[in-house]
C-alpha cells in the first residue's frame, strides 16, 4: 500500500519522484481529465435534444456545466483509478493556480476516492520545496475552483454564441472570444491608424566636427532662435506641421542653402551641461514580462516561451511560470546576492536587498516571481541545458541576479554650439559605473556589447571652445506610420489595459494567428481583411464585447468572484439572460445583420469594394461590362491597399499580365503576375501542351514595376548550379525559397546543407567562391539561439532497417522525432525524456502507414467529403478558445 500523488505531466512526475520518500507513487493526469464538450460527438445522448446542448452549459438550470471525459483521456482516467485501488492516501499535486486547482477538483470528482485526500502545492520543484509542501497540505479551494469554472463558462457562452453568427454572416470557421476579439480589435485599430497616416517630409543638417583632433557629430536644432521641425511636430492625420507648433520646416532647398551659407563659418561652444542619471534594475520576471522580453530578445512567440518555461519548471530549473507577482522570497534574494558577489564582486551588490511589490490588483497566481529554482542558483552554464531552453533559463537567471545589483550611474552630456544664426546640439553619455547593466541589459543578449553601444563619448569641451567643422550634410527625413504590434507590445498593452490574464496571452495570440485574423511577418502582427470584417461587425452590433474598458471591468468582476466579493450566478444570469444579455442581443441583432455588408470591408479613400469570400478576400468593382473581381494577394496588407494597388490587380485580371519581354533563347513571352502569395514572373502561356508554365517569385524588395527582362530571365533560371564542392564533390546551387535567397550543398546521403544569403549577396550573380564562404560559416537555424549548428536534443540510436540515426530535435512547434526525411511530433503529454528508441520506431511506423493510406484514399474521399460537408457543418462545433 502506498500514497498516490497525481500531477499533470510525466516530466513533472519524474522530477517530483526524486524528492518523495519511499512508498509514494507518482502518476500524471496529462492535463485536464474533464472539460465541456468540444464537438457534437462528445455531447451526451441524454442532453442532445436540449436547446442548450451545443453550449455544453445548461443556461436554464443555474448554468450547470456538462462535463465529459475526452476520448484521449479515458485511458488515463482508467489507469489513475487502477492506481488508486492500491493507495491508502491520495495527494493531488497539480499546479498552484486556478487551472491547477480546477484539475485537482475534477480528478477528485471523477476518482471519487474513499481514502484520505490532500491538496499539495508548491511553486518550485526542489527537494526542500517538496518536503515543505508535504508537511503543509490543505483541502481543495472550492472558491478558486468556482472562479475558474465561472471563467470557463463565460468564455464558452461568448465563444459559442457569437462564433455561429460569424459563420453565417462572414465565413465558416471564424471564432469570437471574450479576450480574443478585443486583441484583434487592437490590431485592426493600429492598421486603421496606418491607413489614415499621412507622411510628412522634413530636412535638417548634420555636422561632422573635431575638437583637438577628436571627432564628434552635432545636429541642427534652431535657426534664428526658432526650433527646427522634427518628426514629433507633424500631425499624422494631415502630414503637415501640427497646429500651434512654432517651428521652422526646412525643405531640401532650404537645407542645402543653409549648408552653403554655414560652410567655412566659425563655430563656438555656447553651453555644456553634464547631468548625472541613476538607473535601477527592472524587477524579476512575471508571466507577462517574460513573454515580452523573450519576444524582444530571443524572437520567441508567447506560445513557445510558455512551453519552454513549462519544461524548465517541470524539470526543476525555475519556479512556477504563471505568476503576476514580482515578489522574491528571502531565500531567492540571498541566492541572487551570492551570485552577484561571486561573479561580479561586492561593489556590484545593491547596498540593501531589493524587494519588489506587485502593483496589479489582480495578482492571484503564484506567490513569487519567475526565478531560478532552489536556495542556490545554478549559472546557465552549470545546467547542461542547450538551445532555446538554455536561452530562456539564461534570460531568467540574468534578470533575477540583476535585480539585486547596484544601480547604474551614468552622466548625460549635452553640448550646444552656434554657427552664425544656427544652433546645433551634440549629445553624449558616459557610463560611470555599469552596476546591474554588467549582467543584464533589456532588449540585448550581450551586456558587454550593449554597454559599449550605449556609451557615446564626446571630447572634453567648455564654453568658448571653437571646434573645427570638417563637413556639413543635408539630411532628409520622412515621418513613419505608427508601428504595428509585436507579440511583446500586444502582451504589454493587454496587461496594462487589464484585458485577460497573462497566463492566457500565449493561447490567445496563438488562436488569432491560427484562425487567420493576423499574420506574423518579421515579428509584426498584421491583421488580415477578415479581422477587419469581424471587428466591424462586432463594433456595430456588439460594441461591449470589443470594448477594452468593458472587458477590463469583466476581468475585475471575475477576480472579485474568486475573492468571494461577488456572487457568480447572478452575474452570469445578467450577462447572458438579462434584458441586455448576450443571448437576447444576438437574437435581436441577427436579423438586422446583412451578410453581404458583413462580408464587405469598408476602407477609406478606396472606391473598390473589399469582400471576404470562400477562398479569401477579393476586390470587386463595377465597370462598363459588369462586375469584375480579383483576389487580393496574401502579402498585401490592409494598410497598403490603395487605389494604385487596386488598379494593378484589376488590370491583370481584365487586360492580362504585363509582359516584360521575350526569353532570349526560347522566344517565349515573360509575364509579371500577382498571385495569392505575391508577385512573380512566368515563362510562356498556360495551355494544354504547357499546363504548368515555369514561375519564380520576386525577391524581397523587388516590385513588379522594377522587374527587367534580364532579372526575369535570371529568376526563371533558378536554381543556378554554381559548381561542385572541392571536398565532397557535391553540387552547389543558388536559389530562392520561402525564407528568401539561399545556397545549398547537396551532400548525398548526408542530406542538404543550406545557408541564407546576406543582404549584400545577389542570388543571380553569387559566385562559387562566395557560396563556399557562406557554407563554411556555422549554421544559424531558426531554432538555434547561439548560432551553432542545430544539435539533437537526444540521440535515440540507429534505425534497425537502414542504420540511419533516429534523433529528437526542437522545432518551431515543439520537439519532434526525425529519421531520414520522416518527422513525427512527440505526443501530447509526453516529454523528450519519455521517448525511447522503440517508442520512436512505433511512432515513425504509424506516421509512414498513415501517409500511405492517405495517398490511397485521397481521391475516393474527396467526393464523399463534398457531399457530407453540408450536413456536418450543422452539427459540428469548433473548439472554443480561452478568452
Mean pLDDT of 91-116: 94
The answer to whether 630 and 609 are in contact (CB under 8 A) is: no
- Residue linked to cell 559548381: 723
Mean pLDDT of 431-460: 79
Task: Provide the pLDDT for residue 871.
Answer: 39
Task: Provide the pLDDT for residue 812.
Answer: 56
Q: What one-character-per-residue DSSP string does 490-515 give?
A: HHHHHHHTT-S-HHHHHHHHHHHHHT
Q: Enter the pTM of the model.
A: 0.78
Mean pLDDT of 402-410: 95
Mean pLDDT of 136-148: 91
pLDDT of residue 543 exceeding 90: yes
State the Cα–Cα distance between residues 331 and 352, nearest whole angstrom: 15
Higher pLDDT residue, 171 or 799?
Answer: 171
pLDDT of residue 825 exceeding 90: no
Q: What one-character-per-residue DSSP string does 829-880 give?
A: T--GGG--HHHHHHHHHHHHHHHHHHHHHHHHHHHHHHHHHHHHHHH--PPP
pLDDT of residue 45 exceeding 80: yes
Task: Provide the pLDDT for residue 605.
Answer: 82
pLDDT bucket at 453, cuts 50 / 70 / 90: low
The answer to whether 450 and 437 are in contact (CB under 8 A) is: yes
What tens digit of pLDDT does each residue of 61-74 get? 999 999 999 998 99
pLDDT of residue 830 exceeding 50: yes
Task: Provide the pLDDT for residue 725.
Answer: 92
HEC string of 779-835 equals CCCCCCCCCCCCCCCEEEEECCCCCCEEEEEEECCEEEEEECCEEEECCCCCCHHHC
Give residues with Cβ within 8 angstroms of 769, minimum separation 6.
Answer: none
The answer to whether 215 and 208 are in contact (CB under 8 A) is: yes
> Is residue 320 annotated as a catalytic residue, yes or no?
yes
Which residue out of 19, 160, 320, 485 is catalytically annotated? 320
Which of 336-350, 354-368, 551-565, 718-732 is the least confident region? Answer: 354-368
Q: What one-character-per-residue DSSP string does 321-382 give?
A: S--------HHHHHHHHHHHHHHT-GGGB-SS--------TT--S-SS-B-B-SSSPPPHHH
Task: Tell me which long-range contacts 214-219 makes (C-beta under 8 A, separation of at least 24).
Answer: 214/459, 215/470, 216/426, 216/428, 216/458, 216/459, 216/467, 217/426, 218/415, 218/417, 218/424, 218/425, 218/426, 219/424, 219/425, 219/426
State the Cα–Cα distance between residues 93 and 107, nearest whole angstrom: 11
pLDDT of residue 829 exceeding 80: no
The answer to whether 673 and 697 are in contact (CB under 8 A) is: no
Task: Provide the pLDDT for residue 1.
Answer: 61
Mean pLDDT of the chain: 87
Which of 308-317, 472-481, 783-792 is the least confident region? Answer: 783-792
Return the closest-CA partner of residue 674 out of 693, 697, 642: 697
Residue 537, CA distances (Å) to 113, 254, 551 in order: 49, 49, 17
What tens digit of pLDDT does each residue of 667-691 get? 888 988 877 667 888 898 888 888 8
pLDDT bucket at 828, cuts 50 / 70 / 90: low
Task: Provide the pLDDT for residue 181.
Answer: 96
pLDDT of residue 241 exceeding 80: yes
Q: What one-character-per-residue DSSP string does 691-759 give?
A: SS--EEEPPTT--GGG--HHHHHHHHTPSEEEEE-TTT--EEEEEEETTEEEEEEE-GGG-EEEEEPPT
Mean pLDDT of 459-468: 95
State the Cα–Cα distance between residues 444 and 491, nearest whole angstrom: 19
Task: Provide the pLDDT for residue 702.
Answer: 81
Which of 16-25, 213-222, 639-648 is the least confident region? Answer: 639-648
Phi, psi at residue 119, to the nearest 5°?
-110, 120
Which of 229-238, 403-412, 768-777, 849-858 is the least confident region? Answer: 849-858
pLDDT of residue 210 exceeding 50: yes
The answer to whether 502 and 366 are in contact (CB under 8 A) is: no
Give residues with Cβ within 8 angstroms of 594, minimum separation 6.
Answer: none
pLDDT of residue 158 exceeding 80: yes
What tens digit of pLDDT does each residue of 287-319 get? 999 999 999 999 999 999 999 999 999 999 999
Mean pLDDT of 774-780: 78
pLDDT of residue 783 exceeding 60: no
Around Cβ 196, how many Cβ atoms within 10 Å? 14
Amino acid at each position: 500500500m502506498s500514497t498516490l500523488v497525481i500531477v499533470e505531466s510525466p516530466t513533472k512526475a519524474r522530477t517530483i519522484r526524486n524528492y518523495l520518500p519511499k512508498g509514494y507513487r507518482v502518476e500524471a493526469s496529462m492535463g485536464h481529465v474533464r472539460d465541456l464538450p468540444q464537438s457534437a460527438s462528445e455531447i451526451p445522448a441524454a442532453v442532445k435534444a436540449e436547446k442548450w446542448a451545443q453550449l455544453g452549459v445548461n443556461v436554464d438550470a443555474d448554468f450547470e456545466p456538462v462535463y465529459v471525459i475526452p476520448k484521449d483521456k479515458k485511458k488515463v482516467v482508467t489507469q489513475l483509478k487502477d492506481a488508486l485501488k492500491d493507495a491508502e492516501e491520495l495527494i493531488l499535486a497539480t499546479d498552484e493556480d486556478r487551472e491547477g486547482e480546477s484539475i485537482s477538483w475534477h480528478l477528485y470528482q471523477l476518482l471519487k476516492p474513499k481514502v484520505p485526500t490532500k491538496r499539495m502545492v508548491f511553486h518550485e520543484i526542489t527537494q526542500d520545496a517538496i518536503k515543505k509542501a508535504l508537511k503543509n497540505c490543505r483541502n481543495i479551494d472550492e472558491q478558486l475552483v468556482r472562479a475558474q469554472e465561472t471563467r470557463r463558462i463565460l468564455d464558452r457562452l461568448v465563444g459559442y454564441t457569437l462564433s455561429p453568427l460569424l459563420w453565417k454572416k462572414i465565413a465558416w470557421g471564424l471564432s469570437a472570444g471574450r479576450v480574443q476579439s478585443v486583441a484583434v480589435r487592437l490590431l485592426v485599430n493600429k492598421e486603421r491608424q496606418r491607413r489614415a497616416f499621412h507622411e510628412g517630409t522634413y530636412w535638417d543638417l548634420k555636422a561632422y566636427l573635431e575638437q583637438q583632433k577628436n571627432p564628434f557629430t552635432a545636429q541642427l536644432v534652431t535657426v534664428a532662435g526658432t526650433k527646427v521641425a522634427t518628426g514629433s511636430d507633424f500631425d499624422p492625420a494631415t502630414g503637415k506641421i501640427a497646429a500651434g507648433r512654432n517651428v521652422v520646416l526646412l525643405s531640401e532647398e532650404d537645407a542645402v542653402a543653409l549648408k552653403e551659407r554655414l560652410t567655412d563659418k566659425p563655430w563656438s561652444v555656447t553651453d555644456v551641461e553634464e547631468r548625472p542619471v541613476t538607473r535601477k534594475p527592472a524587477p524579476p520576471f512575471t508571466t507577462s514580462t517574460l513573454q515580452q522580453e523573450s519576444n524582444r530578445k530571443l524572437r520567441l512567440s508567447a506560445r513557445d516561451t510558455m512551453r519552454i518555461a513549462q519544461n524548465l519548471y517541470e524539470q526543476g530549473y525555475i519556479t512556477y511560470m504563471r505568476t503576476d507577482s514580482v515578489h522574491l522570497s528571502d531565500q531567492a534574494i540571498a541566492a541572487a546576492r551570492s551570485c552577484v558577489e561571486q561573479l561580479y564582486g561586492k561593489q556590484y551588490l545593491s547596498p540593501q536587498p531589493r524587494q519588489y511589490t506587485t502593483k496589479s490588483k489582480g495578482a492571484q497566481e503564484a506567490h513569487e516571481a519567475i526565478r531560478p529554482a532552489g536556495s542556490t542558483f545554478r549559472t546557465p552554464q552549470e545546467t547542461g541545458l542547450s538551445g532555446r531552453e538554455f536561452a530562456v533559463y539564461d534570460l531568467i537567471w540574468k534578470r533575477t541576479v540583476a535585480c539585486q545589483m547596484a544601480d547604474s550611474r551614468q552622466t548625460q552630456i549635452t553640448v550646444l554650439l552656434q554657427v552664425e544664426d544656427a544652433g546645433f546640439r551634440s549629445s553624449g553619455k558616459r557610463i560611470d559605473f555599469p552596476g546591474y547593466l554588467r549582467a543584464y541589459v533589456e532588449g540585448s543578449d550581450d551586456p558587454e556589447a550593449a554597454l559599449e553601444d550605449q556609451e557615446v563619448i564626446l571630447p572634453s569641451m567648455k564654453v568658448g571652445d571653437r571646434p573645427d567643422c570638417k563637413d556639413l550634410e543635408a539630411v532628409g527625413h520622412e515621418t513613419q506610420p505608427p508601428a504595428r504590434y509585436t507579440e511583446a507590445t500586444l502582451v504589454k498593452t493587454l496587461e496594462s489595459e487589464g484585458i485577460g490574464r497573462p497566463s492566457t496571452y500565449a493561447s490567445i495570440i496563438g488562436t488569432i494567428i491560427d484562425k487567420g485574423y493576423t499574420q506574423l511577418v518579421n515579428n509584426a502582427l498584421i491583421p488580415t481583411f477578415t479581422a477587419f470584417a469581424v471587428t466591424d461587425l462586432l463594433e456595430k452590433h456588439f460594441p461591449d464585447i470589443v470594448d477594452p474598458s468593458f472587458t477590463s471591468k469583466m476581468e475585475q468582476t471575475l477576480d472579485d468572484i474568486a475573492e468571494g466579493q461577488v456572487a457568480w450566478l447572478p452575474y452570469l444570469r445578467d450577462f447572458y439572460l438579462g434584458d441586455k444579455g448576450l443571448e437576447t442581443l444576438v437574437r435581436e441583432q441577427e436579423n438586422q445583420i446583412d451578410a453581404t455588408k458583413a462580408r464587405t470591408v469598408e476602407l477609406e479613400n478606396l472606391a473598390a469594394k473589399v469582400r471576404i469570400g470562400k477562398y479569401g478576400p477579393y476586390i470587386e468593382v463595377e465597370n462598363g461590362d459588369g462586375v469584375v473581381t480579383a483576389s487580393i494577394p496574401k502579402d498585401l496588407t490592409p494598410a497598403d491597399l490603395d487605389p494604385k494597388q487596386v488598379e494593378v490587380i484589376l488590370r491583370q485580371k481584365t487586360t492580362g499580365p504585363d509582359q516584360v519581354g521575350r526569353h532570349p533563347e526560347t522566344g517565349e513571352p515573360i509575364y509579371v503576375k500577382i498571385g495569392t502569395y505575391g508577385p512573380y514572373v512566368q515563362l510562356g502561356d498556360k495551355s494544354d501542351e504547357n499546363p504548368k508554365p515555369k514561375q519564380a517569385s520576386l525577391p524581397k524588395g523587388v516590385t513588379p514595376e522594377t522587374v527587367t527582362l534580364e532579372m526575369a530571365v535570371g529568376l526563371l533560371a533558378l536554381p543556378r548550379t554554381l559548381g561542385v564542392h572541392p571536398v565532397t564533390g557535391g553540387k552547389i546551387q543558388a536559389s530562392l525559397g520561402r525564407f528568401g535567397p539561399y545556397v545549398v550543398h547537396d551532400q548525398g546521403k548526408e542530406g542538404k546543407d543550406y545557408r541564407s544569403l546576406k543582404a549584400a549577396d545577389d542570388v543571380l550573380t553569387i559566385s562559387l567562391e562566395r557560396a563556399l564562404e557562406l557554407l563554411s560559416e556555422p549554421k544559424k537555424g531558426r531554432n538555434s539561439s547561439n548560432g551553432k549548428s542545430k544539435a539533437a536534443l537526444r540521440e535515440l540510436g540507429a534505425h534497425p532497417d537502414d542504420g540511419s540515426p533516429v534523433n529528437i530535435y526542437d522545432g518551431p512547434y515543439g520537439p519532434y522525432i526525425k529519421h531520414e526525411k520522416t518527422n513525427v511530433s512527440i505526443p501530447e503529454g509526453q516529454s523528450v525524456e519519455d521517448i525511447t528508441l522503440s517508442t520512436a520506431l512505433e511512432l515513425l511506423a504509424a506516421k509512414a502507414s498513415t501517409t500511405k493510406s492517405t495517398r490511397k484514399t485521397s481521391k475516393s474521399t474527396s467526393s464523399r467529403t463534398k457531399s457530407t460537408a453540408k450536413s456536418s457543418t450543422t452539427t459540428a462545433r469548433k473548439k472554443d478558445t480561452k478568452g
